[in-house]
Chain A
C-alpha cells in the first residue's frame, strides 16, 4: 500500500459545482498534513494546512479523520482558475522532523465553463 494515496482523477466538473477529494495515508503516526496545488509545468504552492479540528479558507474546507486515516478537501462554488492538480502531503516524521514528508501523486481537477 502506498504511504499516501490519492484518486488521480481527472475530475471534470462545471463551474459553480462543489467538488471533494480524499487522500488516505498509511502511517498512523503521521503528524502534519497539507494540501498543495500544482498548475501545469509550475511548482507546487501551499493551499492550506490541515488541522485536527478542520479548517476553512474561503471556498476551501479541509478535514482530517485520524480514525480512518484520511484527509479531505472540499471546494465550493468552483471557478475556472481552480483547475489544477491537488497534492496531498503528509509528514510522518513528527513535529521536529523536517525530513519525513511524503507527497501524494495528485488529483487532477478540471473546471469547465
Chain B
C-alpha cells in the first residue's frame, strides 16, 4: 500500500465550481509535489514544497492554488478550471534533496465539464 494518500480518487466538476484535492503522506518526508499527467504527455511538475515552503511554481495558472499547512499534508485548490485541465493529478513526497526518489499517491482523475 502506498504511504501517500490522495482524495478524492475521481472528481467531475463544472468550470465554475470550486473544489480541492487533498494529499497526505505517512512516510516522514519533508518535500511534497503536485504533478499533472495528461493523456500521451509526460508528467508535468506543478508545485514543490520543501519543509512547508513553496520552492517551485512551474508557471502554473492561478486557477490552481496549492496549500501546504504542514509537511504531511498538501492541498490543491481548484477554481474556474478549463476543459484542458482534465487530467490525472498526482501527489508525491520525498526526503528533501534532488537525489531522493519520490513516492506517489494513486492520483485524482479530474474531469472538467
B42 touches A97 (CB 8 A): no
Give the interface of B toward A (CB within 8 A). Answer: 2, 31, 33, 35, 41-43, 45, 48, 50, 55-56, 90, 94, 96-107
Among A45, A97, A103, A106, contact of B98 (Cβ-Cβ < 8 Å) = A97
A42 touches B98 (CB 8 A): no
Chain B residues with CB below 8 A from A98, complex form: 31, 33, 48, 50, 55-56, 94, 96-98, 100
B105 touches A46 (CB 8 A): no
B98 touches A100 (CB 8 A): yes
Give the interface of A toward B (CB within 8 A). Answer: 4, 31-32, 34, 42-46, 49, 87, 91, 93-106
Closest to A2 in B: B42
A101 touches B105 (CB 8 A): no
Q: How many A-B residue pairs have CB under 8 A?
A: 68
Contacts A43-B2, A44-B104, A45-B104; is A104 near B99 (CB within 8 Å)? no
Chain B residues with CB below 8 A from A103, complex form: 35, 42-43, 45
B106 touches A42 (CB 8 A): yes
Closest to B2 in A: A43
Closest to B96 in A: A98
A43 touches B107 (CB 8 A): yes
Chain B residues with CB below 8 A from A99, complex form: 45, 48, 50, 55-56, 98
Closest to A94 in B: B98
- The CA-CA distance from A16 to B67 in the complex, in Å, is 47
Task: Provide a sorted-by-A list of 22 A–B residue pairs whose CB atoms are within 8 angstroms.
Answer: A4-B42, A31-B98, A32-B99, A43-B90, A44-B43, A46-B101, A87-B43, A91-B98, A93-B98, A95-B97, A95-B98, A95-B99, A96-B98, A97-B98, A98-B48, A98-B55, A98-B96, A99-B45, A103-B43, A103-B45, A105-B41, A105-B42
